[in-house]
């Protein structure tokens, strides 16, 4: 069991489970007409007067408007009820200001409140267009999204609000404004977070339809369960303002193996969406782009979704005239944080060469260079797909595979690799270098990120890569000596100083706009490991709400520089009544140490400890390793 399970006890007269649906019937800057519909579940043979009172509350809890509806002498059964409530000068929900109202709904029978419900909702105008892509509240907006699996790394599949919030904040800081819940319904609390942070969510229900992908997958239950499961999913989540798109399936086998089902299933699923929602478009994630694919060509689906196939994005308006387009899944590039192969940065390596042929190449340690030059045969490197998506207005947006590494699918390797390499952020939550590529394009914050580290062999020639924005050129210095200056290619988001000869010391990169110096970044050659440095993402956390603290451990030299090859074993300890190390990680896909272990080898100088507490208490966290000075930090669970 990895999601909350609720047992609901109700009065004989109550509001039907997940029957409440709130949406804007009319919406402008000056006035909103809010449509509310629900069902009253009536079990007695007959009752006297029934009143439904709805109050719309501001984000601060003030009553802005109300509606009272009275019914007389209902008989047993389900009874639909509709209300309209007018709001003056409504505040719209958006990615920068995700404002939410609350509908406080009371069901009153014979003067007594027998049921009460609080439902949050947001008001927004949006549309998809063949030429302009996506529009939110009257303005064009590129959906700059990522796909997220529902596991939480070292914490496994059980949903944890604190860990999910951390993931979403890391994505937001990168400039992400969209999340695809691949490939199953997200926890309601996850969507609550997306509502409050401002994400454009593509909500996905099925990875499998009637045609099997694996012997024991959902195809075994399709005929009996798909309709009930889909209805329950839509009714449960349709009030979330962050939810913009219903994705009906992912890479369904019906694209190839059953034209009859491939034609019929999209029609059936889209009809369910239209009957229960009708305010959001549908899409399907297709990886077969032949016009013989009945799923791709279904007229029942509102948005055509492509998985990968980036070379066909530009020609979409000619390939599918009058259709609207979104990239449901892209990229599938491969990296291990902190690993760099001494091969030219502008080289390309496709691992594996074909999806259906076992991979026997790669690196002996099963790591992959973080230079953004390794990718799968169905995908691309990050730079390529990113540039295409940003270039063409008809592309509403894309969802990169994936925001975080996740458990399973260790493409291109097999066991003992046990988690993915696709993530822009590793399993422990440490960003890989391409994180800053996206941040330089998707945010307004000044960015200057330099890779790789500067610990090499004498005489090695190293490509130095720079991700930066808001500047037109950068200068490179080695041990105080100016090496060269370069300007950014307008057709690229990066800049490369090729084959710089390694000499111990430091490299410094300075960015300029015109003649003005903007930012500088220095990378030093690390000496031998000397001590452990601890850093907490959140020094205080709420124990009653089961919040967590995420503590970074860095192995540094005597000057505080992270030692890039350090893999020392770190022992984490906590002092404090009720406090404990819940899990540890390091982002290494081949580390088979139990996540529940309080000890963890560093991976490229870094490790993570996740701390929890049952009680309100001051907590001392210590990290020690043989031959190194220990690190300490104090947390507080309140």
Beta bridge pairs of residue 602: none
- Model confidence at 455: pLDDT above 80: yes
C-alpha 43/C-alpha 100 separation (Å) is: 33
Average per-residue pLDDT in the chain?
97
Read off the pLDDT of residues 487-517 as tens digits, 9 standing for 90 and up: 999 999 999 999 999 999 999 999 999 889 9
For the segment 90-108, the average pLDDT, to the nearest whole number, is: 98
Q: What is the CATH number of domain 531-637?
A: 2.60.40.10
Task: Check residue 340 and give its pLDDT.
Answer: 98
Task: Check residue 75 and give its pLDDT.
Answer: 85
- Model confidence at 533: pLDDT above 80: yes
- Model confidence at 45: pLDDT above 80: no
C-alpha 243/C-alpha 245 separation (Å) is: 6
- Whether a cis peptide bond, with omega within 30° of 0, leads into 402 is yes
Task: Check residue 511 and give its pLDDT.
Answer: 98
Confidence of residue 110 (pLDDT cuts 50, 70, 90): confident
For the segment 575-594, the average pLDDT, to the nearest whole number, is: 98
C-alpha 309/C-alpha 293 separation (Å) is: 15
pTM of the model: 0.97
Read off the pLDDT of residues 256-281 as tens digits, 9 standing for 90 and up: 999 999 999 999 999 999 999 999 99
Q: What's the fold here for domain 13-121?
A: Immunoglobulin-like (2.60.40)
Confidence of residue 49 (pLDDT cuts 50, 70, 90): confident
- Residue 408's SS3 state is coil
- Residue 136's SS3 state is strand
At 508, which helix (H) or strand (E)?
strand 506-513
The reply to whether CATH 3.40.50.12780 applies to domain 126-333+376-411+422-442 is no
At 267, which helix (H) or strand (E)?
helix 259-276
Residue boundaries of the structural domains of the chain: 13-121, 126-333+376-411+422-442, 448-524, 531-637
Read off the pLDDT of residues 215-256 as tens digits, 9 standing for 90 and up: 999 999 999 999 999 999 999 999 999 999 999 999 999 999
As a whole-number percent, the residues of the chain with pLDDT over 70 amount to: 100
Task: Check residue 267 and give its pLDDT.
Answer: 98
At 324, which helix (H) or strand (E)?
strand 324-331
Read off the pLDDT of residues 549-558 as tens digits, 9 standing for 90 and up: 999 999 999 9
Confidence of residue 292 (pLDDT cuts 50, 70, 90): very high
CB 524 within 8 A of CB 561: yes
- Model confidence at 398: pLDDT above 90: yes
C-alpha 67/C-alpha 80 separation (Å) is: 16
- Model confidence at 537: pLDDT above 80: yes
Which CATH superfamily groups domain 448-524? Answer: Immunoglobulins (2.60.40.10)
Confidence of residue 451 (pLDDT cuts 50, 70, 90): very high
Task: Check residue 43 and give its pLDDT.
Answer: 86
Taking the CA atoms of the chain, what radius of gyration do you get in angstroms? 27
Identify the sign of the CA torsion 465, 469, 473, 478: negative
Task: Check residue 72 and give its pLDDT.
Answer: 83
The answer to whether domain 13-121 and domain 531-637 are alike in fold is yes
- Model confidence at 48: pLDDT above 90: no
- Model confidence at 377: pLDDT above 90: yes
- Model confidence at 178: pLDDT above 90: yes
For the segment 535-552, the average pLDDT, to the nearest whole number, is: 97
- Residue 553's SS3 state is strand
Which residues are tagged catalytic?
A: 251, 329
- Model confidence at 442: pLDDT above 90: yes
C-alpha 592/C-alpha 145 separation (Å) is: 31
Task: Check residue 223 and give its pLDDT.
Answer: 97
As a whole-number percent, the residues of the chain with pLDDT over 90 amount to: 96
Task: Check residue 1 and give its pLDDT.
Answer: 80
Phi then psi dihedrals of residue 267, to 5 deg:
-65, -45
At 384, which helix (H) or strand (E)?
helix 382-391
Order of strands, sheet of 481-487, starting from the edge strand that comes earlier in the sequence: 481-487, 473-478, 506-513, 516-524
8-17, 133-142, 232-241: which has the minimum mean pLDDT? 8-17
- Model confidence at 525: pLDDT above 90: yes
């Amino acid at each position: 069991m990895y999601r909350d399970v609720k047992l609901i006890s109700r009065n004989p007269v109550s509001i039907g489970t997940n029957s409440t649906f709130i949406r804007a019937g009319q919406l402008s800057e000056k006035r909103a007409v809010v449509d509310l519909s629900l069902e009253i579940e009536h079990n007695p043979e007959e009752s006297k007067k029934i009143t439904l009172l709805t109050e719309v509350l501001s984000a601060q809890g003030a009553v802005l408007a109300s509606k009272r509806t009275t019914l007389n002498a209902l008989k047993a059964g389900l009874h639909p009820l509709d209300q309209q409530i007018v709001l003056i000068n409504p505040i719209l929900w958006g990615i920068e200001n995700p404002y939410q109202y609350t509908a406080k709904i009371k069901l009153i029978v014979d003067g007594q409140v027998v049921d009460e419900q609080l439902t949050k909702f947001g008001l927004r105008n949006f549309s998809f267009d063949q030429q302009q892509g996506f529009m939110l509240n009257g303005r064009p907006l590129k959906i700059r999204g990522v796909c997220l699996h529902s596991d939480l790394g070292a914490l496994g599949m059980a949903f944890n609000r604190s860990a999910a919030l951390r993931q979403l904040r890391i994505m937001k800081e990168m400039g992400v404004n969209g999340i695809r819940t691949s490939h199953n319904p997200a926890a309601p609390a996850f969507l609550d977070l997306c509502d409050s942070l401002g994400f454009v969510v593509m909500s996905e229900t099925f990875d499998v339809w009637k045609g099997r992908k694996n012997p024991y997958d959902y195809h075994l239950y399709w005929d009996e369960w798909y309709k009930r499961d889909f209805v329950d999913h839509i009714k449960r989540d349709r009030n979330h303002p962050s939810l913009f798109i219903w994705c009906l399936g992912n890479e369904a086998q019906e694209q190839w193996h059953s034209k009859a089902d491939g034609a019929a299933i999209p029609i059936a699923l889209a009809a369910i969406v239209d009957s229960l929602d009708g305010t959001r478009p549908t899409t399907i994630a297709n990886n077969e782009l032949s016009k013989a694919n009945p799923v791709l060509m279904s007229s029942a689906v509102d948005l055509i979704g492509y998985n990968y196939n980036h070379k066909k994005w530009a020609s979409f308006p000619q390939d599918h005239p009058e259709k609207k387009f979104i990239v449901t899944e892209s990229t599938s590039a491969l990296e291990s944080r902190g690993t760099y192969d001494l091969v030219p940065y502008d080289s390309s390596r496709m691992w594996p060469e074909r999806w259906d042929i076992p991979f026997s190449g790669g690196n002996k340690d099963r790591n992959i260079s973080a230079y953004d030059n390794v990718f799968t045969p169905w995908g691309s490197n990050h730079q390529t797909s990113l540039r295409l998506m940003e270039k063409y207005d008809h592309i509403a947006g894309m969802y990169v595979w994936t925001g975080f590494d996740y458990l399973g699918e260790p493409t291109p390797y097999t066991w003992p690799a046990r988690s993915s390499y696709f993530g822009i952020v590793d399993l422990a939550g440490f960003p890989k270098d391409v994180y800053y590529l996206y941040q330089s394009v998707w945010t307004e914050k000044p960015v200057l990120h330099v890779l790789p580290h500067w610990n090499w062999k004498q005489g090695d020639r190293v490509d130095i890569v720079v991700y930066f924005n808001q500047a037109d050129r950068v200068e490179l210095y080695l041990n105080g000596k100016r090496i060269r200056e370069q300007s950014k290619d307008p057709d690229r988001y990066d800049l490369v100083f090729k084959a710089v000869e390694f000499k111990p010391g430091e490299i410094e990169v300075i960015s300029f706009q015109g003649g003005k110096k903007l930012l500088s970044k220095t990378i030093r050659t690390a000496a031998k490991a000397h001590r452990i440095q601890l850093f907490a993402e959140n020094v205080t956390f709420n124990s009653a709400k089961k919040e967590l603290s995420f503590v970074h451990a860095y192995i540094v030299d005597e000057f505080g520089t992270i030692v890039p090859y350090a893999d020392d074993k770190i022992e984490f300890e906590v002092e404090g009544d009720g406090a404990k190390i819940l899990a540890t990680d390091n982002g290494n896909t081949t580390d088979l140490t139990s996540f529940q272990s309080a000890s963890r080898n560093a991976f490229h100088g870094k490790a993570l400890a996740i701390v929890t507490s049952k009680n309100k208490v001051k907590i001392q966290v210590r990290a020690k390793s043989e031959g190194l000075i220990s690190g300490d930090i104090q947390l507080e669970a309140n």
